Amino acid sequence: MAKALDIAKYVIFLSSREPEAGRLSSVTPLQLQKLLYYIQGWSLAHRGRPAFEETIKAWKDGPAVPEVWRAFKHRGRRRIEAARGSDEILPAEDANFVLGVWERYKRHSAGELWRMTHREPPWRATRAEAGVDDGERCQAEISHAVLREYFAALTARLARLVPEALSPANLEQAGRDLAAGRGVDAAAYFAGRGHAL
């Protein structure tokens, strides 16, 4: 099983390859923490196993992996630069999985990810069970069971929405968009109909 820090370094590598306003971008420590939460949750739901062995805590600023926080806390709110060779840290299966989660969440800013994780049941329920309010410090662990249950429920919800996306009219429009050189964004399709992915 991968270490959370290795996955974090791979996410940093992926982010450093993304263009942003004419330059290459990178993630902040806050974004990185939230991305690790999503990687762990989706891994538990889709692969039936954790992506990394370290625990995720329900900290005041949202889900956090303490070991990764300690490694990058010196960056504060500044973006984290990628180290050379960090694209070869993970085995191919793990790297492909992390890439898939990255592609889904890379468009979200640190603030958006913060708000998303604060609204989701794993963080909220863990803190409620520990008896702490939103603004208080907390060291409670967000369990694998809680993460698996939430992300599996999201998967089931998305599976119910897919037939709508695969309707003949939508497939025909997607074909026209692709023929015209335009991309097809399934997340935007669902969001336009009041569904969140």
Pairing of β 56-59 and β 62-64: antiparallel
pLDDT of residue 196: 47
Residue 176 domain-assigned (yes or no): no
List of the chain residues with pLDDT < 50: 21-23, 84-85, 191-197
pLDDT of residue 85: 45
Residue 133 domain-assigned (yes or no): yes
Residue 46 domain-assigned (yes or no): yes
Sheet with 141-142: list strands edge to edge. 62-64, 56-59, 141-142
Residue 130 domain-assigned (yes or no): yes
Domain that holds residue 118: 4-151
Residue 160 domain-assigned (yes or no): no
DSSP state of 3: -
pLDDT of residue 73: 84
The total number of structural domains in the chain stands at: 1
pTM to 2 decimal places? 0.78
Pairing of β 141-142 and β 23-24: unpaired
Residue 101 domain-assigned (yes or no): yes
Query: What digits encode the pLDDT tens for the residues 111-156?
Result: 999 999 999 999 999 999 999 988 899 999 999 999 999 999 888 7
